[in-house]
Structure 1
């Protein structure tokens, strides 16, 4: 049975509505799916970028902390060096004051003469030579001339060895020398310095730990004592 034009038109409209509805539903489905995928991708990208940013700032924070530690260590070392320099400068000033004052002992003639005798005797024991030349300050020449033979006798009594000692009357110790003597053997090849300055330097070197302890207290990092 043939359909009338109205019925055909009606069926066409129904088919168009169905197709349109299907298309709309499909489009909605595609949009929802696309929205879901967009949100998933956006979340993934955000998480990735967030991790990058977190890692970047973690590295920056570590770099800043490292720089802070380096700066702190540098400043600490500089402070320690400054303290050490200040301590060394203070010790140098004290030793310089001591060096300037050691010359005062020469004003006490009997005491200074006994010291000269002891320095000569000690020097003879150290050298253990048969011939020794003594050089002194010009102003000490007569003091030493009066006592050096007794020092030789003390040396001979202690060692059983003879020694010929000559007192240099042509060349003397420099004017800035505080006192004491120089001793020479083997035509000047061997020299023993027994001036007051040299004795002070020797003594201060040996006692430097004790000097530092007296001035600044015990060093907490020092674990052994001589």
Structure 2
């Protein structure tokens, strides 16, 4: 039995509706899958960026912490240096200055000062080991060094088996800032040995500085070597 045109059109419409429904369902399925994949990819990218951001700020935090430690260490070292400098200044300005002021008292004891001068002269000759030297001293000590010269030369000969001529410079004297002692010069003034009371104090203070620090401020807990 042949279908009428109306029946054909009805079946065609029915088939088109079915196809359209299938297409819509397929499109929805594709959209849903695409949305799911999009959300997954978006989540992955967000998580990846979150990890990068966290790593970045963790790195920054570590850098800040390291800088803080360095800064604290520098500040601590600066504070220690200031303390050490203050101690050094106290030793030099207070104790050593007091010692310098007392140097003049050595010359007030003729017997003691004579013995000191003799030792300084002999030591200076042994340092120079020259056949002839020029001696400079304070103007008030000229007579003393002239009186000591023969005995000093005898002692020097006994120690070194060498002879020496000492010429006292009576034109150039040690400055007013010198409390006592002598200065020896080799021929042509090429070598100078300074053995004043001030130079001896300076040398002794340098050698005894660790002991002085320990006596005044106690031992340094950070010091590893005592020599």
TM-score, with length taken from structure 2: 0.80
Could you say which residue in structure 1 is the equivalent of 2:99?
A: 98
After the TM superposition, which residues 21-170 of structure 1 pair with which residues of structure 2 at under 5 Å, given as runs?
21-93=21-93, 94-170=95-171
Distance 1:6 1:118, change over 3 A: closer
Query: What secondary structure sits across from 1:207 in the alignment?
Result: helix
How far apart are residue 8 of structure 1 and its match? 4.5
User: CA 1:158/1:41 → structure 2, altered by over 3 Å: closer, same or farther?
Assistant: closer
Relative distance call for 1:17 and 1:168 in structure 2 (3 A) is closer
4+ residue runs over 6 A deviation: none
**Pairwise mapping of residues 164-203 of structure 1 onto structure 2 (< 5 A)?**
164-186=165-187, 188-203=189-204
User: For the residues of structure 2 that align with 1:56 and 1:199, how far apart are their CA atoms?
Assistant: 63
Aligned length: 226
CA RMSD of aligned residues (A): 2.9
Distance 1:171 1:30, change over 3 A: closer
Gaps of 5+ in 2: none
Structure-2 change in CA distance of 1:170 and 1:53 (3 Å): closer
> How far 1:169 moved relative to its partner?
2.8
Secondary structure in 2 matching 1:3: coil
So what's the TM-score if we normalise by structure 1?
Answer: 0.81
Q: 2: CA distance between counterparts of 1:143 and 1:31?
A: 118
Q: 2 CA distance for matches of 1:159 and 1:9?
A: 143
Write the distance in 2 (CA, Å) between the matches of 1:8 and 1:186: 141
